[in-house]
């Protein structure tokens, strides 16, 4: 059998498995972070710190009766959640996860496909993402669901424009559409310390584009402050009002899939992907180890002064595990694979945290404010930013 | 492999197009049209025009069809009613006229393109990337490109005029 096909299948299986697990645990992370923002404890009954909560949620949703209301348009009603999940997860196929590596003498890219229009593919799949929500709202034959679906399609069309414009501006600096080349164009440092990430890159640091991109991706993923499609106080639950059991879970998965994709694209295009914040000669390759050892140290410190009687026994175990994980990053064979991956996931994790943080902080927009904000503020600013960037690139290019 | 993919997606495209006409409900028709657009994008991809394929998905399947669907959902258009009593002329010459039209188009393609040696084979065309498309848009096809933008501007102005009339 063709080794390329085998390798791709192995990678696809690995990435799909990790992605689905991460999506399930994002629910836990979100509930926990939100709880701490609001001075609550969050899920803490199932497993230590509620860590088994996603599993119990999954079991509950699997064994729930899937109620299909009698008045729905059945084929579209059933197809919509699958469409939503499929479109939310397929962008991951073109996102690179690290540089080219060599495993057992085989050179391969970290990530599935490396296509030369990677960013366009992500935008294309993202623009199709609205169908899941819109069709679900329409097929449910329920006025709340319909209004949710309509709101969502109008909102996603409106915010797609500033999002694409905000993404085009850094692309002018890099001169490529391939995500791998985009990340490689951000390697290196100014004065040996400031990374050449898009948000710092000369001739025009793309901080404004980054902020525009983040705001637009909140809207694209239907998150607070733009979660009008599922505004509970107006629309019950919006487009998924009529869905239950696994079909409902599918929409949940799709939402988190969109978040992961948006954060991945944001880190790859604006935050330098797997390029570390400071050069390797100042020890950026030891950063993952230091992070793990730091948390191991916290665990040991807590085991010295236990708040609960069993902390004396559990904390050192967690600490040792974290310490060993930190040591894994020091193994010379694994270093070129794991360290860039860690840097990328660190940035993605940070952006996901920002998503949750915003959710815990901001109230919801009104619908007319949302539309006016997109068309009279975001879009002109994005165009102006694009024009200025183009001008600067034209002036400084040789 | 290329031929198999081509045949599969060509059949999907034609099937969706036929379904588009046959479906009674506007939403089902719109969904079939999305299917046509998607399979056309795959066909472009097979021919090596990856940029056009992505644009096809973003613009047609992603933006225009969403607007179509949005309008259909907003107006809550119901199933199409069958119009009774077609005229005798349409019954008599409908199918023969359609066949004649297909024949003429096929004859034109046969004489104009097939024998002119301008066939594109799978993988034989590599000028479909964003760089090549952009370059030809701004050199060879500069005038049509700019004229099209004026045309779109006129369309936007027309839309604004129509929308303002509603408000007055």
pLDDT digits (tens, 9 = 90+) for A166-186: 888 888 888 888 888 888 888
Cα(B144)–Cα(A95) distance, rounded to whole angstroms? 35
Q: How distant is the alpha carbon of residue A72 from its chain centre?
A: 32
Predicted confidence band of residue A141 (pLDDT cuts 50, 70, 90) = confident
Within 8 A by CB and 6+ apart from A216, the residues are A159, A160, A162, A163, A166, A378
Chain A hits for B57, CB-CB cut-off 8 Å, are 124-125, 127-128
Q: Are A123 and A117 in contact (CB under 8 A)?
A: no
**Which pLDDT value is given to residue A353?**
92
Cα(A255)–Cα(A243) distance, rounded to whole angstroms? 15
Give the residue from chain A lying closest to B35, CA to CA: A128
Q: With CB atoms and an 8 Å threshold, state whether A160 touches B34.
A: no
Average pLDDT of the segment spanning B110-139: 74
Average pLDDT of the segment spanning B11-33: 87
In this predicted model, what pLDDT tens digit does every residue of A82-99 receive, in sequence order? 888 888 888 888 888 878
Q: Is the pLDDT of residue A23 over 90?
A: no
Residue A52's φ and ψ, nearest 5 degrees, are -95, 5
Within 8 A by CB and 6+ apart from A81, the residues are A132, A136, A243, A247, A248, A250, A251, A254
Cα(B75)–Cα(B69) distance, rounded to whole angstroms? 10
Which carries the bigger pLDDT value, residue A382 or residue A337?
A382
Query: Nearest-CA neighbor of A129 among A167, A85, A161?
Result: A85
Q: Is the pLDDT of residue A73 over 60?
A: yes
Q: Mean pLDDT check: name the lowest of A222-236, A268-282, A309-323, B148-162.
A: A222-236
Predicted confidence band of residue B155 (pLDDT cuts 50, 70, 90) = very high
**Which pLDDT value is given to residue B102?**
92
Sign of CA dihedral B134, B140, B143, B148: negative
Predicted confidence band of residue B28 (pLDDT cuts 50, 70, 90) = confident
Chain A hits for B73, CB-CB cut-off 8 Å, are 134, 137-138, 146, 149-150, 153
Q: What percent of chain A has pLDDT over 90?
A: 5
Q: Is the pLDDT of residue B116 over 60?
A: no
Predicted confidence band of residue A1 (pLDDT cuts 50, 70, 90) = low
Instruction: Give the CA diameter of chain A.
Output: 68
Q: With CB atoms and an 8 Å threshold, state whether B63 touches A115.
A: no
Long-range contacts, A263-267 (Cβ 8 Å, 24+): A263/A217, A263/A348, A263/A351, A263/A352, A263/A355, A264/A92, A264/A95, A264/A348, A265/A91, A265/A95, A265/A119, A265/A122, A265/A167, A265/A217, A266/A210, A266/A213, A266/A214, A266/A217, A266/A351, A267/A344, A267/A347, A267/A348, A267/A351
Which carries the bigger pLDDT value, residue A72 or residue A230?
A72
Q: Nearest-CA distance from A71 to chain B in Å? A: 15
Q: With CB atoms and an 8 Å threshold, state whether A150 touches B54.
A: no
Q: Is the pLDDT of residue A80 over 60?
A: yes
**Which pLDDT value is given to residue A250?**
86
Say yes or no: B129 contacts chain A, CB-CB below 8 A: yes
Q: Which of A269-278, A342-351, B83-92 has the highest mean pLDDT?
A: A342-351
Say yes or no: B74 contacts chain A, CB-CB below 8 A: yes
Radius of gyration of chain B (CA): 20
**Which pLDDT value is given to residue B84?**
65
**Which pLDDT value is given to residue A232?**
67
**Which pLDDT value is given to residue B60?**
87
Query: Nearest-CA neighbor of A98 among A108, A110, A107, A106?
Result: A110
Predicted confidence band of residue A278 (pLDDT cuts 50, 70, 90) = confident
Average pLDDT of the segment spanning B91-110: 87
Cα(A366)–Cα(A228) distance, rounded to whole angstroms? 8
Q: Mean pLDDT check: name the lowest of A71-75, A163-167, B34-38, B112-116.
A: B112-116
Q: With CB atoms and an 8 Å threshold, state whether B50 touches A131.
A: no
Using the CB atoms, write b or e for A301-332: b if 16+ within 10 Å: ebbeeeeeeebeeebbebbeebbebbeebeee
- Computed over every residue of chain A, the mean pLDDT equals 84
Cα(B65)–Cα(A275) distance, rounded to whole angstroms? 39
Q: With CB atoms and an 8 Å threshold, state whether B58 touches A153.
A: no
**Which pLDDT value is given to residue A387?**
92
Say yes or no: B67 contacts chain A, CB-CB below 8 A: yes
- Computed over every residue of chain B, the mean pLDDT equals 82
Q: Are A140 and A241 in contact (CB under 8 A)?
A: yes
Q: Nearest-CA distance from A126 to chain B in Å? A: 8
Q: What percent of chain A has pLDDT over 70?
A: 97
**Which pLDDT value is given to residue B117?**
59
> Any alpha helices (H) in chain A, and if so which ranges?
3-37, 53-63, 74-90, 118-128, 130-139, 143-174, 179-184, 207-220, 232-235, 245-269, 287-304, 311-328, 335-361, 367-372, 379-396
Average pLDDT of the segment spanning A295-311: 82
Give chain B's count of helices (H) and strands (E). Answer: 7, 0
Q: Which of A99-108, B49-58, B67-76 has the highest mean pLDDT?
A: B49-58
Cα(B2)–Cα(B7) distance, rounded to whole angstroms? 9
Cα(A396)–Cα(B54) distance, rounded to whole angstroms? 30
**Which pLDDT value is given to residue B157?**
92
Cα(A232)–Cα(A247) distance, rounded to whole angstroms? 19
Cα(B118)–Cα(A331) distance, rounded to whole angstroms? 57
Predicted confidence band of residue B100 (pLDDT cuts 50, 70, 90) = very high
Which carries the bigger pLDDT value, residue B131 or residue A107?
B131
Tell me the CB-side half-sphere exposure of residue A63, using CA atoms within 13 A: 5
Q: Nearest-CA distance from B104 to chain A in Å? A: 36
């Amino acid at each position: 059998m063709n080794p390329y096909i085998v390798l791709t299948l192995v990678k696809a299986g690995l990435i799909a498995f990790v992605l689905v697990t991460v999506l399930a645990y994002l629910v836990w992370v979100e509930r926990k972070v939100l709880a701490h923002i609001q001075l609550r404890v969050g899920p803490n009954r199932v497993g230590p710190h509620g860590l088994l909560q996603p599993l119990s949620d999954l079991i509950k949703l699997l064994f729930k009766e899937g109620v299909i209301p009698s008045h729905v348009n059945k084929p579209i009603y059933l197809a919509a959640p699958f469409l939503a999940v499929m479109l939310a997860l397929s962008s991951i196929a073109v996102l690179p996860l690290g540089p080219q590596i060599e495993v057992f003498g085989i050179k391969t890219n970290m990530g599935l496909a490396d296509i030369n229009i990677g960013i366009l593919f992500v935008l294309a799949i993202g623009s199709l993402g609205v169908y899941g929500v819109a069709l679900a709202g329409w097929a449910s034959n329920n006025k709340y669901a319909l209004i949710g679906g309509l709101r969502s399609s109008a909102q996603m069309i409106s915010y797609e424009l500033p999002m694409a414009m905000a993404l085009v501006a850094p692309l002018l600096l890099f001169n490529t559409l391939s995500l791998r080349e985009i990340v490689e164009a951000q390697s290196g440092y100014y004065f040996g310390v400031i990374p050449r990430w898009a948000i710092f890159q000369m001739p025009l640091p793309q901080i404004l584009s980054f902020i525009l991109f983040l705001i637009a991706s909140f809207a694209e993923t239907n998150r607070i402050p733009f979660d009008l499609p599922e505004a509970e106080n107006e629309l019950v639950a919006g487009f998924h009002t009529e869905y239950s059991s696994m079909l409902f879970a599918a929409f949940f998965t799709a939402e988190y899939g969109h978040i992961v994709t948006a954060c991945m694209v944001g880190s790859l295009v604006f935050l330098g992907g797997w390029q570390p914040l400071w050069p390797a000669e100042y020890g950026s390759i030891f950063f993952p180890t230091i992070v793990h050892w730091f948390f191991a140290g916290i665990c040991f410190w807590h085991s010295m002064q236990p708040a609960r009687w069993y902390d004396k026994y559990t904390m050192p175990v967690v600490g040792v595990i974290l310490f060993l994980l930190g040591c894994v990053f020091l193994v010379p064979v694994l270093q070129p694979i794991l360290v860039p991956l860690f840097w990328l996931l660190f940035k993605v994790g940070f952006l996901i945290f920002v998503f949750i943080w915003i959710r815990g902080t901001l109230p919801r927009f009104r619908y007319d404010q949302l539309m006016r904000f997109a068309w009279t503020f975001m879009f002109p600013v994005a165009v102006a930013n694009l024009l200025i960037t183009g001008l600067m690139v034209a002036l400084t290019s040789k | 492999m290329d031929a198999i993919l081509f045949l599969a997606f060509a059949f999907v495209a034609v099937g969706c197009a036929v379904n588009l006409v046959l479906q009674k409900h506007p939403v089902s028709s719109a969904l079939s049209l999305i299917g046509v657009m998607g399979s056309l994008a795959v066909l472009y991809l097979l021919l090596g025009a990856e940029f056009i394929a992505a644009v096809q998905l973003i613009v047609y399947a992603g933006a225009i069809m969403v607007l179509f669907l949005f309008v259909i959902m907003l107006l809550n258009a119901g199933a199409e009613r069958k119009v009774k009593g077609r005229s005798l002329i349409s019954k008599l010459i409908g199918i023969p006229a359609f066949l004649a039209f297909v024949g003429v188009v096929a004859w034109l393609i046969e004489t104009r393109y097939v024998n002119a040696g301008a066939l594109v084979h799978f993988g034989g065309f590599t000028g479909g990337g964003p760089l090549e498309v952009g370059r030809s848009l701004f050199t060879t096809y500069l005038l049509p490109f700019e004229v099209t933008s004026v045309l779109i501007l006129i369309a936007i102005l027309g839309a604004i005029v129509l929308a303002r009339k509603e408000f007055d």
